[in-house]
Each structure stands twice: as structure tokens, then as C-alpha cells.
Amino acid sequence: MQQPAPGSATASRAAAPAIRAIGLTKRYGSVTAVDQLDLTIAPGELFCFLGPNGSGKTTTIKMLTGLLEPTAGTAAVAGFDVWREPLAAKARFAYVPDEPSLFPKLTGREFLRFIGSVFRMPEALFERRARDLLALFELADRVDELIETYSHGMRQKLAICAALVHEPPVVFLDEPTVGLDPRSARTLKVLLRRVCDAGATVFLTTHILEIAEQMCDRVGIIQQGKLIALGTLDELRQRGGHAGASLEDIFLQLTGGAESAELIQALATGERSGGR
């Protein structure tokens, strides 16, 4: 394969971060959902984006994937501006929302084949990738049934298969383990780690902090639209002076959840005392 010439536009793209946001902002009237977000994620990184409900996680993903126009700032994927070069950017990523919208009157196989055709996959490569992913997520026996007959968990697994079948260099996943059984959730964790080890980038949101702690190279924590922490787990521990703290401990301290935990403990203690 011919290498891009130094200083060429192609070489510049190849050297670009997998995901970059600069000053990314979204306002709804007087409400700021995401406020001046700066974020750079490298190729091969498994990045977890965490935050309380309503903190701006999904809004951020929608701006990064071109589904929601930012009020200010820029977003780029693989060196392509999501709004100025939408086709080039979208050709290089896949997105699985928290509630995937599939085509209910297609079979699982027809849906995957449609995705393969959109990304112009060679037939042999598509067949191999689809077969392996369907087997991995235990969908092979149901792939020729209509999607409308699938359970929520099956639809989630099919959406994940569709996102990964064309081997995109960047994958966005919004709460991907919701609806998955423990075995499928574990399969997904192992698969995403291998995808990143092979050079792709995963941007993942989750409320299950144990998953983030086990999987991610770096963590970003957003609260009320502002990025309040960014780094590896060890870096977050060092900055907070919490050697050996779990990600859950760090998250609760940063987002004020520790106060709620103490209140719950006080209430539980009071109930036990009152019951004696």
C-alpha cells in the first residue's frame, strides 16, 4: 500500500486524532446542555464518557456523530469535520444509540446485508464478518426471522453486530449493555477491548461504573454540561488524593453522589435503630 506523502492532506488525516471536539456547545434557550467541551481521543483508545442522568452525555454523542448541530464549536472524526465533511466523517464511524431504531419488517440478515451494502463491503468479507458476529452474540439461529419478533436484547445485539460488521475505525456506543444478558455483556466487553487493541477507537457511555473501570483506557466525567474530570483511573486517583479508590468512589466524590450515599447510610441506620 502506497504511503501518503509527508505534509499531504492524506497524511494529515492519517495523523489526526480519532475524535476531537473543540469548544463544543449546545444550548436550548437559556439552558446549556453541553458547555465548551474540549476533548481529544487517540486511535486505539477505549474511552468511557460518564455522568449523572441529564449531564450531557447523549447530547455530546449526537453532536459528535452529526445528529445534532452544535450551537458553537467543532467536532471531527478521523480528521474530518462532522458538519463540513459529513459524508467522509460518517463513512468512518458507527453509532449504536441507547434505543436502536431498526427496520422491523426486515430479517436480521437483511438488515446486516443492507449495512454491508451501504459501506460497500466485498461479499466474502461481509459473509465472514456477519457469520462471526452473529455466532458470537448467539443470533445465528434467529437471523432469518423478522426483527419485529426480536426481544429488546436481541435488537441491541443486532445493532452492535451492524455497527461492527464493516470494521469502522471509530465506534460510538451509548449505554450498549442495557438489555443485554450477563453473558452477552461480557462478550461485548471482550470484543470491544480486542477492537481497540487492533487500532479502532471506541467512545462509550455507561452507567455501570464497574464496566468502565474494567475496560477503559481513559475516563471523562461530565456534569451539568461541563467536563469536570479527564484521565486514566490512576491519574484521577492521584489528582483526588484517593490512592486505591474505585471509579465509583471517584465518580461519587466528583458529582456529589457521596452526599447521597451518606444520607442513604444514615437513613438505613435510623431504620435499624428504630426497629429495635
Q: Which residues 6+ apart lie within 8 Å of 64 measured at CB?
A: 19, 21, 24, 75, 77, 82, 172, 203
Give the pLDDT score at 3.
Answer: 46
pLDDT over 90 (residue 86): yes
pLDDT per position as a tens digit, 226-243:
999 999 999 988 887 677
Answer for the pair 118, 82: CB distance below 8 angstroms, yes or no: no
State the average pLDDT over residues 11-33. Answer: 88
State the average pLDDT over residues 75-98. Answer: 95
Kindly state the cell numbers that stand for 100.
436502536
pLDDT per position as a tens digit, 245-272:
888 888 888 887 645 555 445 555 555 5
Give the pLDDT score at 270.
Answer: 57
Distances (CA, A) of 265 to 60, 242, 257, 271: 34, 21, 12, 10
- Yes or no: is domain 14-232 CATH 3.40.50.300? yes
pLDDT over 90 (residue 210): no
Give the pLDDT score at 99.
Answer: 86
Percent of the chain past pLDDT 90, that is, above it, reads 71
Question: Among residues 201, 231, 175, which one has the least CA distance to residue 76?
Answer: 201
pLDDT over 80 (residue 10): no
What is the distance between the alpha carbons of residues 37 and 100, in angstroms, rounded to a whole number? 26
pLDDT over 50 (residue 1): no
Mean pLDDT of the chain: 88
Give the pLDDT score at 239.
Answer: 80
Q: For the whole model, what pTM was predicted?
A: 0.87
Give the pLDDT score at 66.
Answer: 95
Band (pLDDT 50/70/90 cuts) for residue 65 is very high
pLDDT per position as a tens digit, 154-197:
999 999 999 999 999 999 999 998 888 999 999 999 999 999 99
Tally the residues of the chain: 276
Give the pLDDT score at 69.
Answer: 96
Answer for the pair 166, 121: CB distance below 8 angstroms, yes or no: yes
Give the pLDDT score at 274.
Answer: 58
Give the pLDDT score at 14.
Answer: 62
pLDDT over 50 (residue 9): yes
Answer for the pair 114, 106: CB distance below 8 angstroms, yes or no: yes
